[in-house]
């Protein structure tokens, strides 16, 4: 709050100075800028005093910087006012234009204020930063030594360092006795001029709004589906997605995949031995092939359960030559992870040449601090992976959630069996690549050969990841924009299309490849 007040009051101060000079000969008109100046000055001083930041940073950097700006404004206003009232608009335009572009800089001047209080951060790596020049790491570490921190590479495993900055990211482990000084350390990093980015390594957890469903919708009819999965009637979404035509088309149109696409579920792990997943599963790391929480296994079944095997459910993975699924564990057994663990998972997926990364996870966006996510997603995109993420379940704008709001991802909202936006689903109106999929009463796999229904954008996301896997199997060169344009152009309207994006139609997607 004080950071916003600081920025607005400073801009108001500048405008009042301009008006003061231009109306100094008008007694009535002169009163208005005087009152505005007084009000703005009081607001500025209050925000300057109470905003959370290091005092030396305020006095030695911020205050001189803003005083210089006001002096320049005063000089320019005095010079131009002598030329008459006709130049008022010009000066005000220049001031407003300059300070409008400067607004975000003003608002984020207080490094600590851009990080909301009471944020839970990783206990063994509280801060992430991107160093501009690795040769200056020793000097930067020495600056931080007063806090007795440990600094180490955040993502040492990244392979293609020539195409990314990820190898320049480091984590700072702050001792318990200095955990109350995180904002000071962020401020010190920022002021050093040696970093391109510094942010808290926040803890994310699975959304508690994802609930087990009590009342389930059913397929209108399982006849003519030509598959024998016993729980097929639980999959209400297959009617809306025209799965019958999709499955028939796959088997009759003779679509030949160029490869078997790899879909990675970044989550709590996946039960690799589940009866309805194991035939479509490949392992990257055996430690990821166990799921004590169940969320990751539920998502994996939606994306790639084995169809027509007389077991469980079905998915778009109708034939083993199109899609296989794997697991990368980025959340612990309680469904919690950190920004670092999630980004490390994205890197691992990309470096294992995964075609689709499915992330049914997310957390609140803190100011503009999501650069590390953006860099990681770009790395995955540059290596050919399509990143599909959940819009989130807070019933708000997905712009307020990461990684849903990140560049280069396809963001998935959830709809119910009436193709209406789920009440919990975030909307994707302001997202570049927003699309809709079933997310209410979704029946899928859970560990130990069991099945249950969940609701959430987490469930909608692997539906999209599954069909994107089919697309990448047919054409491995598809980019994120290519995929989105196909999904959008073939999708159908929902009851809230502007908020949800278009609803996926896999059958129409396949026809697009045979009839471009």
- What token pair was written down for 114? 């851009």
Q: Any catalytic annotation for residue 56? A: no
Catalytic residue among 267, 276, 289, 355: 267
Torsion angle in degrees (nearest 10) through CA of 284, 482, 495, 405: 60
First CA to last CA across the chain, in angstroms? 52
Whether residue 458 lies in the annotated active site: yes
> What is the distance between the alpha carbons of residues 184 and 200, in angstroms, rounded to a whole number?
12
19 φ/ψ angles, rounded to the nearest 5 degrees: -65, -35
Distance from C-alpha of 328 to C-alpha of 344, rounded to nearest angstrom = 10
The rounded distance, in Å, linking the Cα atoms of 121 and 327 is 25
Answer left, alpha or beta for residue 260, where phi above 0 means left and psi between -120 and 50 means alpha.
beta
Residue 367 buriedness (CB in 10 A; 0-12 / 13-18 / 19+): middle
Catalytic hit among 295, 341, 444, 455:
295
Task: Give the residue among 73, 107, 127 at the shortest CA–CA distance from 367.
Answer: 107
The Cβ of residue 19 has, within 10 Å, a number of other Cβ atoms equal to 21
Q: How far is CA 367 from CA 226, 250, 401, 472, in A?
A: 51, 45, 10, 34
Q: 3-state SS of 324-342?
A: EEEEEECCCCCCEEEHHHH
The answer to whether 295 is a known catalytic residue is yes
Active-site position among 9, 187, 455, 458? 458
Q: Contact at 8 Å (CB) between 509 and 464?
A: no
Q: Which residues are catalytic?
A: 267, 295, 458
């Amino acid at each position: 709050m004080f950071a916003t007040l600081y920025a607005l009051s400073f801009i108001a101060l500048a405008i009042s100075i301009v008006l003061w000079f231009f109306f100094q000969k008008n007694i009535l008109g002169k009163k208005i800028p005087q009152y505005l100046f007084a009000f703005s000055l009081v607001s500025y001083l209050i925000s300057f005093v109470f905003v959370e930041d290091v005092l030396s940073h305020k006095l030695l950097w911020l205050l001189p910087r803003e005083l210089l700006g006001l002096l320049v404004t005063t000089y320019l206003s005095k010079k131009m006012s002598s030329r008459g009232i006709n130049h008022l608009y010009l000066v005000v335009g220049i001031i407003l234009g300059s300070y409008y572009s400067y607004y975000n800089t003003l608002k984020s001047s207080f490094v600590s204020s851009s990080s909301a209080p009471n944020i839970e951060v990783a206990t063994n790596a509280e801060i992430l930063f991107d160093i501009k020049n690795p040769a200056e790491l020793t000097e930067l570490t020495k600056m931080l030594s007063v806090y007795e921190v440990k600094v180490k590479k955040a993502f040492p495993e990244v392979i293609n360092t020539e195409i990314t900055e990820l190898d320049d990211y480091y984590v700072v482990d702050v001792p318990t006795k200095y955990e109350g000084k995180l904002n000071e350390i962020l401020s010190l990093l920022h002021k050093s001029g040696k970093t391109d980015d510094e942010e808290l390594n926040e803890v994310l957890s699975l959304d508690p709004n994802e609930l087990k469903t009590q009342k389930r919708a059913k397929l209108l009819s399982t006849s003519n589906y030509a598959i024998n999965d016993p729980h097929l009637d639980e999959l209400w979404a297959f009617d809306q997605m025209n799965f019958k035509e999709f499955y028939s088309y796959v088997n009759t149109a003779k679509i030949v995949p160029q490869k078997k696409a790899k879909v990675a579920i970044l989550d709590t792990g996946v039960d690799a031995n589940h009866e309805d997943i194991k035939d479509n599963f490949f392992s990257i790391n055996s430690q990821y092939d166990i799921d004590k929480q169940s969320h990751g296994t539920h998502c994996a079944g939606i994306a790639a359960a084995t169809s027509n095997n007389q077991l469980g459910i079905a998915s778009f993975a109708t034939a083993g030559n199109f899609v296989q699924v794997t697991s990368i564990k980025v959340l612990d057994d309680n469904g919690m992870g950190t920004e670092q663990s999630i980004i490390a998972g994205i890197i691992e997926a990309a470096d294992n040449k995964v075609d689709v990364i499915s992330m049914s996870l997310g957390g609140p966006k803190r100011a503009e601090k999501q650069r590390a996510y953006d860099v990681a997603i770009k790395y995955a995109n540059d290596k050919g992976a399509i990143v599909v993420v959940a819009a989130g379940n807070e019933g708000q704008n997905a712009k307020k959630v990461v990684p849903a709001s990140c560049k280069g991802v396809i963001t998935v909202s959830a709809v119910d069996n009436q193709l209406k936006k789920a009440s919990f689903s975030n909307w994707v109106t302001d997202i570049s690549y927003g699309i809709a999929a079933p997310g209410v009463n979704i029946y899928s796999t859970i560990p130990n050969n069991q099945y249950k229904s969940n609701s959430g954008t987490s469930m909608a996301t692997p539906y999209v990841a599954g069909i994107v896997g089919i697309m990448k199997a047919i054409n491995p060169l598809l980019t994120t924009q290519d995929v989105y344009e196909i999904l959008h152009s073939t999708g159908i309207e929902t009851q809230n299309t502007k908020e949800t994006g278009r609803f996926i139609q896999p059958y129409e997607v396949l026809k697009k490849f045979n009839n471009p």
